[in-house]
A = this chain, B = another copy of it.
Amino acid sequence: MPDTRRSWKEVRDRIHQKILSGQVRPGDKLPRDADIAAEMNCARTTVQRAMQDLADSGLVERRRKGGTHVRRDPVTRATLDIPITRNEVEQKGNTYGYQLIGRETLAPPHSVQAAFGQNLPGPMLHVQALHLADARPYILEDRWICLQTAPEILDVDLSETSANEWLVMNKPYDDLTLRFYAEKADEKRATLLGTDPGDALLVIERTTWISGAPITTVKSSTEPGYQLISRS
């Protein structure tokens, strides 16, 4: 072991390598942080930082007194970025467009109530809107907004500002659920998205809360061919 000092990323990568190369197999126990620190000629804090990272990425499991083990049931852990739709479109070099389709105050259907679990959301604003890329339909959003949590939405001109953007800038959340699945386009969505009924659509459902109170839930039906790609 060279006697140069190690950075935490070097330490992390070295351990990672040990796992990759099979020197350490799933289920095996790794040395204590202190020993690794001695071996690598660095402070224990540095090892700690490295191990945290490995644990965060699902490679290793740490328990006080139990030590650090290579995970037996490796998980692929991926991070997805879901940008604001306008930014997503513009970053691809297309022109963003937006079109309000419908807006009404309604008691939410059972399916929407279910998204919020036990917390009764009360009366809600139902908004349907279409996001466009170069004037072509891109994402159709079907959104319910809790009027108790976000009453100001009633004063927003949703034909100009999308609820998507207004909420992001004005109603920060501290809890979030995301759900992805595939669904056949029904007649109505097919028309709005400019595609054919029966086409397979990737659907993103997103529900947000602030300190336990529901804010909004949105079902976004994406254009055919839409893909979600994980961050590096």
Question: Which residues of A pack against B, CB within 8 Å?
Answer: 16, 19-20, 22, 26, 58, 73-84, 87, 168-170, 172, 174, 176-184, 198-203, 206, 210, 224-230
Contacts and interface: CB of A to CB of B under 8 A. Distances in A.
**Residue of A168, A178, A226 contacting most chain B CB atoms (<10 Å):** A178
Contacts of A80: 77-80, 230
Given A87-B73, A182-B201, A200-B200, A177 B81 contact: no
Contacts of A229: 177-180
**Residue of A80, A83, A87 contacting most chain B CB atoms (<10 Å):** A80
Contact of A183 (B82, B177, B200, B228): B200
Contacts of A87: 73
B76 A81 contact: yes
17 contacts: A22-B170, A73-B83, A74-B168, A76-B81, A76-B82, A76-B206, A77-B82, A78-B79, A78-B80, A79-B79, A180-B202, A180-B227, A181-B225, A181-B227, A182-B200, A182-B224, A184-B198
User: Which 3 A/B pairs are nearest by Cβ-Cβ distance?
Assistant: A182-B182, A200-B200, A178-B230
A125 to B, nearest CB: 21
Given A16-B174, A75-B81, A81-B58, A179 B228 contact: yes
A58 to B, nearest CB: 7
Copies in the complex: 2
Contacts of A183: 182, 200
Nearest to A208: B76
A102 B18 CA distance: 34
Nearest to A87: B73
Nearest to A176: B76
A20 B209 CA distance: 12
A228 B180 contact: yes
Nearest to A231: B77
A208 to B, nearest CB: 9
A148 B157 CA distance: 59
Contacts of A172: 19-20, 22
B81 A178 contact: no
Contacts of A84: 73-75
